[in-house]
Structure 1
Amino acid sequence: MRFPILIRLVAGIAFAAGSAAATAQDYPNKPLRWVVPYPPGGGSDVIARTIGGQLSRQVGQPVIIENKPGAGTIIGAESVARSAPDGYTIMSGDNGTFVFNGALYKKLPYDPQKDFVPVTLIARFPLLLVANPGAGFSNAKDWLEKMKRAPGQYNYASVGAGSPHHLAMEMIKQKTGTFMVHIPYRGAGPAVQDVLAGQVPMMVLDLATAMPHIKTGKLTALAVLSGKRLPLQPDVPTLKEIGLGDEEIYAWQGVVLPEGTSREVVTRLNTELTKAIAAPEVAKKLTDFGVEPLSGSPEQMADYIKTETARWHALIKQRKLGLD
């Protein structure tokens, strides 16, 4: 009596395994949904649409960009974490999604470590410390001296509380022993406008957003937060050059899939994304935009997230930062 049941069970397992293998082998055979947890038009959106267009051409399927902004990327991340692990819902997230939020919020509706499978890093935004030319800072060392002489008398803007731009300035404050008042905004647009208008004297800003204003003289670049000087800003010193040690701070992006996605699908998507990022027209567009293209294995992305988590969670805890 038990043998027919056992045969059906084994047959069912074999069928499921065969279906999974076929799915991985044929992947992708329908449109891909790429969730961007930010509004349209921003840097994250530009990166996804640039790479997604090339990815679509390679795999012969539409790549549909779906913007799901809100709550510091939490809304988009939660939706992807709850999606079917079939490889057809992917997401690009940043430091906040995979690192900062886990320390800034007491409770998240997703687990940055357990609910996603890393696929590859795709890009990073070089960051700069910029100021309104009328703020009275002649260079980075002059800025630092004034910050030390007048604790609490200067404000700085950020594109949002808990953003890479905000936490970069918190790291600078920790390293320099200075105190500046944080003025958070909802996005780069309003923050930059107030710095340009002189309502707030300074902020940390990504190269892509800052460059047009630096070129017109409406913003002054005081320091770059990269490990070495930027080709587009060769005269601007690094943090190390102004005495802040070996810190390198970037806003970075990576692609993930929901936990439970098969290894074969992860590998295929990694291969296709790596190829798309390396395409000359894609690399040029990203570089011209002010972004450094990246790629790598899923394991390298996972290791990078672990390293970043240890680094930034320590800072967030030390400075007693939180968003709830």
Structure 2
Amino acid sequence: MMEKSTAPGTPCGLTRRTALAAMTLAGMSATGLARAQAASDYPNKPIRVVVTFPPGGSADAVFRLLVPRLSEKLGQPVVVDNRPGAGGNVGMSLVAKSPSDGYTLGLGAAGALSANASLYDQMPFDVQRDLKPVAMLAGIPFVLVGHPSVEPRTLKALIDRARAAPDKLSIAHGGNGTAMHLSTALFMQMAGIKLVEIAYRGSGPAALDTLGGQVPLAIVDLPASLQQIQAGKLIPYAVTGTQRLPTLPDVPTMAEAGLPGYDSTGWFGIVAPAGTPDAIVARLNAEINAGLRDEQTRATMHTMGVAPAPGTPAQFASYIASETTKWANVIRTARIKLD
């Protein structure tokens, strides 16, 4: 016969296993109540946001636009903690290992949240397992530009030239493993061309050398190139997103210019440690989206070359998953590795 429980206070007839199960359920209920209470009191202390970029970049600058409003609406200081390194892995690893209480969040981009899983042999965290999407902030379309001396001037004709003479044209981008690098790889794969890639430390230096004629082509972000494009010092072939940009309405998308289906956009958003209560995530998402929909904030972001992208946590999670699959295929085909 099964041994009866002798635990104090256990009713007659309950087995030891039943008593243990009851105590476990009670503990789980207590934990759930504690988490619910914590969510209802949230926030009651400063919130740290680990930004996986150095100060001054587009993602850092965009989030800092939102900080005053978030601090006011949440009733607590929102503190930016810049932790760049390893394509975003340094900062995001810190977030993944933090308590899931909503007081440590992360600002990550396409690298750390999607592409790095394929770029690095060893990752210090798993996006699906260790992180919880909160809100996408913005997208950053890139632009394919050329020095004014480069002929021809249309994307289709440029592709034809590159096909006829593989490895004769050079193209600059913002660094190995960056979204601009992956955009370049996708461009070559879809166009069926081979260009000589030159990696720079950032979009600015890549645009500067293209401006000076040291390299004929580049895929760079808008903040690094818009002024030179408007001045006629850089020739824009196409933008990399699926829509034309308000600041460059006459520049076609890659798809319009001859590469149907091409879509490559840099992006970034807020994530929390896995296990963060849904109520906290919903509160943060609502306040972030309200900030992104503010007319003055949107106007400032557009002048910075970024497009606000408010949405739900589920939409952000779905986007991360689709981007992870997409870039895994591009990286595998291009044989790109950063380890």
Give the TM-score band, short-chain normalised.
over 0.9
Deviation at 1:194, TM superposition (A): 2.0
Is 1:256 equivalent to 2:256 in the alignment? no
2:247 to 232, 236, 248: 232
1:272 counterpart residue number: 287
User: 2 CA distance for matches of 1:189 and 1:66?
Assistant: 24
Q: How does 1:199-214 map to 2 (within 5 A)?
A: 199-214=214-229
1:2 maps to 2:2: no
Matched with 1:92 is: 107
Match of 2:68 among 43, 48, 53: 53
Give the conservation status (yes or no) of the 8 Å contact 2:240–2:265: yes
Matched, 1:74 2:93: no
Inter-partner Cα distance in structure 2 for 1:145 and 1:37 = 39
133-142 vs 267-276, greater mean Cα deviation: 133-142
* Residues 268-289 of structure 1: CA deviation (Å, up to 9, x unaligned): 1111111121122222211221
Residue 13 of structure 1 deviates from its aligned partner by 5.1
Instruction: Write the deviation string for residues 61-92 of structure 1: whole angstroms up to 9, x where unpaired.
Output: 11111111111111111111111111011112
CA separation of 1:13 and 1:242: change in aligned 2, threshold 3 A: closer
Greater C-alpha radius of gyration: 2
Q: Provide the alpha-carbon RMSD of the alignment.
A: 2.0
Query: In the alignment, what sits opposite 1:133?
Result: 148
* 1:237-293 superposed Cα distances (whole Å, 9 cap, x missing partner): 221222211222110112100112111111111111111211222222112211110
Instruction: State the secondary structure of the residue aligned to 2:60.
Output: helix
- Structure 1: state its 5+ residue gaps: none
Instruction: Give me the whole-angstrom Cα distance separating, in 2, the residues matched to 1:240 and 1:17.
Output: 50
Which AA in structure 2 matches 1:118? P
CA distance in 1 between counterparts of 2:52 and 2:227 reads 25
Return the alpha-carbon distance in structure 1 between the equivalents of residues 164 and 114 of structure 2.
33
Correspondence for 2:316: 301
Corresponding residue for 2:236?
221
Selected match of 2:181 from 142, 166, 170: 166
Displacement of 1:4 after TM fit? 5.8
Match of 2:16 in 1: none
How many Å separate the matches in 2 of 1:11 and 1:150? Answer: 72
Deviation at 1:215, TM superposition (A): 2.1
Larger CA deviation: 275-284 vs 115-124: 275-284
The amino acid that maps onto 2:118 is: A
Q: C-alpha deviations, 1:1-27, integer Å up to 9, x for none?
A: 624697997776555433322210111
Quick one: structure 1 residues 14 and 234, their matched pair in 2 at CA, closer, same or farther if it must change by over 3 Å? closer
Structure 1 counterpart of 2:7, which letter?
Answer: R
Give the aligned residue type for 1:61. Answer: Q
Residue number in structure 2 paired with 1:310:
325
2:259 alignment partner, one of 222, 241, 244 = 244
For structure 2, list consecutive stretches of 5 or more residues without a partner in the other structure.
1-5, 11-18
Could you state the TM-score of these two structures normalised by the residue count of structure 2?
0.89
1:181-192 equivalence runs, <5 A: 181-192=196-207
By how many angstroms is 1:299 displaced? Answer: 1.0
> Does the 8 Å CA contact 1:98/1:112 hold for their aligned counterparts?
yes
- Bigger shift: 43-52 or 13-22? 13-22
SS in 1 for 2:219: strand
TM-score by length of 1: 0.93
| Equivalent residues, number | 324
**Identity score, percent:** 38
**In the aligned structure 1, how far is the partner of 2:79 from the partner of 2:270?**
15
